[in-house]
């Protein structure tokens, strides 16, 4: 009986991992390391990278291209699926250290990836657990520390302005991550404010309805991406 249960748990974990890879890791774009404005870089995960629509929209509005280092599946630091946001920044800085503006996100996959594979930190709520667990809060707080460290490094390296895009609520099958998302977004806002960097946090909660999120319950549709780029554009425009 125990062996059968173990096999079932392993099979479930493998199925969840395969689903996660299909939702997060596949698709997206390669680095773009030469642009009209090499001093402007984008960093982050598949919210930016999977379709590329946010980058394309911002470049169309600016009439300029920017360097792009976003990677689907990226976590803030570490991770097995993609180059982390920390490593993306290191790559951008190594290619050309004259970075004045960074448009970025990050931290969502640090919560989402484990939540998609058996939820070991208890970030999903259920009828039998109405709030996120202490382990989930600790995971979010660790992500906060990583974000502050990265923002401080960017500031020390001379990045003048950072625009940090927050996450929106996830619908349907991921709706039970709402409390984890809210706690995580609040802590990322804190990271932006508590770092030494000149960092502007943009809160997108309440702005992307379920019908502007793909059927994977994670990524924005073209309409959702336009909402997010329209949120970023006024701040970016003021810095150009």
Q: What is the maximal distance between C-alpha atoms in the chain?
A: 64
CA distances from 38 to 8, 34, 65, 76, 115 (A): 50, 6, 8, 22, 36
Cβ of 30: how many Cβ atoms within 10 Å? 9
CA distances from 160 to 33, 40, 156, 194, 240 (A): 19, 10, 10, 16, 12
Q: How confident is the model at residue 24 (pLDDT cuts 50, 70, 90)?
A: low
Average pLDDT across the chain, whole number: 91
Question: Which tens digit of pLDDT belongs to each residue from 46-62?
Answer: 999 999 999 999 999 99
pLDDT of residue 12: 43
The whole-model pTM stands at 0.90
Distance CA 41, CA 66 (A): 6
Question: Which tens digit of pLDDT belongs to each residue from 167-186?
Answer: 999 999 999 999 999 999 99
Q: Where are the beta strands (DSSP E) in the chain?
A: 37-43, 66-68, 101-104, 161-165, 199-202
Residue-range domain boundaries for the chain:
2-239
Higher-pLDDT residue of 105, 13: 105
Question: Which tens digit of pLDDT belongs to each residue from 138-174?
Answer: 999 999 999 999 999 999 999 999 999 999 999 999 9
82 Rama class: left (phi>0) / alpha (psi -120 to 50) / beta? beta
Distance CA 41, CA 69 (A): 7
Is 3.40.50.920 the CATH number for 2-239?
no
Distance CA 44, CA 89 (A): 9
Q: How confident is the model at residue 29 (pLDDT cuts 50, 70, 90)?
A: low
């Amino acid at each position: 009986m125990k062996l059968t249960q173990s096999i079932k748990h392993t099979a479930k974990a493998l199925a969840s991992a395969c689903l996660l890879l299909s939702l997060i890791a596949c698709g997206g774009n390669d680095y773009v390391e030469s642009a009209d404005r090499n001093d402007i870089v984008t960093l982050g995960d598949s919210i930016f990278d999977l379709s590329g629509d946010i980058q394309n929209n911002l470049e169309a509005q600016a009439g300029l291209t920017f360097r792009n280092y976003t990677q689907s599946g990226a976590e803030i630091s570490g991770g097995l699926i993609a180059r982390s946001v920390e490593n993306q920044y290191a790559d951008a800085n190594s290619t050309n250290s004259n970075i004045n503006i960074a448009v970025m996100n990050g931290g969502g996959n640090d919560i989402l990836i484990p939540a998609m594979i058996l939820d070991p930190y208890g970030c999903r709520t259920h009828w039998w657990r109405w709030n996120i667990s202490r382990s989930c809060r600790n995971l979010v707080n660790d992500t906060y520390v990583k974000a502050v460290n990265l923002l401080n490094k960017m500031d020390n390296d001379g990045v003048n302005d950072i625009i940090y895009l927050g996450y929106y609520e996830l619908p349907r099958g991921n709706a039970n991550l709402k409390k984890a998302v809210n706690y995580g977004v609040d802590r990322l806002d804190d990271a932006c404010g508590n770092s030494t960097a000149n960092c502007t946090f943009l809160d997108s909660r309440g702005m992307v309805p379920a019908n502007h999120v793909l059927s994977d319950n994670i990524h924005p549709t073209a309409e959702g991406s336009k909402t997010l780029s329209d949120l970023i554009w006024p701040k970016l425009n003021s810095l150009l």
